[in-house]
Amino acid sequence: MTNISRPSVLSGMRPTGKLHLGNYMGALANWVKLQDDYECYFFIADWHALTTDYADTSQVKANIGEVALDWLGAGLDPEKCILFLQSKVLEHAKLHLLFSMITPISWLERVPTYKEQQENLTGKDLTTYGFLGYPLLQAADILLYQPQFVPVGQDQVVHVELTREIARRFNQFYKIGGNEVLPEPKVLLTPSPKLPGTDGRKMSKSYGNTIMLTDTETEVRQKLKTMVTDPARVRRTDAGDPDKCPVGDLHKVFSTPEKLDEVYAGCRSAGIGCIQCKGWAADSLVQILGPIQGRRAGYTAKQALEIIEAGSVRAQQRAAQTMREVDAAMQMPIG
């Protein structure tokens, strides 16, 4: 490995199960690009899954396997980056505990996602300590690897900002010979194109409108058929506007510029029908998904988990290095 001097990035994903195109475009595709230029740590945040799903843990293990396979399918390469599982690196729990000692509760209560999520996920009792501490565990996840950058989408920016505040507070209290131990990482904002699901709303597992990375060509074509279109285009002879159509949005993300030109011209002149246009969109999706599924099929679930195990050993070594500094700074070199 010659990546010692490269700047480092860390990011993570909760094990929600098989991933969809929104997960791919909003995170994975970006991670795959980063692995060539950065020292990368990517992990599955299985303890974070418990913050909302503590009452039913029956799916967590299977979900970890599916996420690992989707990562490999997407092109994350264990030769280039460190892929690991949060719960395999106990240092995450230790640093979280130490952070919990120095973090005012008000900082956590003020994180906007805290109240929002409690209101949105009404079916669950989220008055737990773990749920309040979610962003603190995330701060530990990040700072444990002393990364320069954290590639995340807009929704996670507040969590990285809190992480920076935690680092600052830690560094004020504890130093080694006057030197700070936990550098403040910067957000590397993942550009996320508008990616609608089949119902026209943002593609999201909770809306049930997703196209999965593992969907077969038949499934993709079937889903596209049911996809909503520009509501102004009622009859075949009505002109439409791809800028007001979720299928148009898919073309913008996945189709070639030439095809996109055809879509604009054909839709606005009523020269093409929506069925044909959806067929083209499906073609583009199949083009993207083919190689992902091909790579995914090259691994068994067992192999994917072995890769994550091996990555976790390497991640643990890096985490232990930070914890030695943390312990020394806190004058608690007892571990």
Window contacting ligand SF4 (CB under 6 A); options: 3-11, 38-46, 184-192, 241-249: 241-249
- Contact between 260 and 252 under an 8 Å Cβ cutoff? The reply is yes
Q: Which stretch, 114-122, 188-196, 267-275, 282-290, contacts ligand SF4 (CB under 6 A)?
A: 267-275
SS3 of the chain: helix, strand, coil, percent, to 5: 55, 10, 35
Residue window 220-239: x/- pattern of binding to ligand SF4, with contact defined by CB under 6 A = ---------xx--x------
Residues 27, 13 contacting (CB under 8 angstroms): yes
Q: Which does 247 bind (CB under 5 to 8 A by kind): ligand SF4, ligand TRP, none?
A: ligand SF4
Closest residue to ligand TRP, based on beta-carbon distance: 12
- Partner whose binding site includes residue 197, from ligand SF4, ligand TRP, none (CB under 5 to 8 Å by kind): none
The single residue among 45, 272, 282, 330 that binds ligand SF4, judged by CB under 6 A, is 272
Q: How far apart are CA 223 and CA 233, in angstroms?
A: 19
Cβ–Cβ < 8 Å for 204, 197: yes
- From the list 45, 144, 260, 277, which residue makes contact with ligand SF4 (rule: CB under 6 A)? 277
- For 7-23, give one letter per residue: b (16+ CB within 10 A) or e: ebbbbbbbbbbbbbbbb
Nearer to ligand SF4, 183 or 231 (CB): 231
Judged by CB under 6 A, the residue of 89, 248, 289, 315 near ligand SF4 is: 248
DSSP-derived secondary structure for 164-220: HHHHHHHHHH--BTTB-SSPPPEEEEPP----B-TTSSBP-GGGT---BTT--HHHH
Specify the residue, 46 or 230, whose C-beta has the smaller distance to ligand TRP.
46
Q: Among ligand TRP, ligand SF4, none, what binds residue 242 when CB lies within 5 to 8 Å by partner kind?
A: ligand SF4
Residue 193, token pair as written in the block: 């194109």
| Residue 22 in the binding site for ligand SF4 (CB under 6 A) | no
Residue 164 interacting with ligand SF4 (CB under 6 A): no
Task: Name which position in 210, 240, 250, 318 contacts ligand SF4 (CB under 6 A).
Answer: 240
Helix axes 112-120, 134-143, angle to 10 degrees: 130
Nearest distance, CB of residue 26 and ligand TRP, angstroms: 9
- Minimum gap (Å) between residue 290 Cβ and ligand SF4: 22
What is the number of other CB atoms lying within 10 angstroms of the CB of residue 27? 22
Give the shortest CB-50-to-ligand TRP separation in angstroms: 12
Which does residue 142 bind out of ligand TRP, ligand SF4, none, counting CB within 5 to 8 angstroms by kind?
A: ligand TRP
Tell me: does residue 197 bind ligand SF4 (CB under 6 A).
Answer: no
Q: How far apart are CA 23 and CA 134, in angstroms?
A: 20
Q: In the numeric block, which tokens belong to residue 41? A: 């740590």
Phi first, then psi: give them for residue 211, nearest 5 degrees: -110, 120
CB 220 within 8 A of CB 211: yes
Widest CA span in the chain: 77
Instruction: List contacts with ligand TRP (CB under 6 A).
Output: 10-14, 45, 48, 138, 141-142, 150, 152, 156, 159
Interface contacts to ligand SF4, rule CB under 6 A: 229-230, 233, 240, 242, 245, 247-248, 263, 267, 272, 274, 277-278
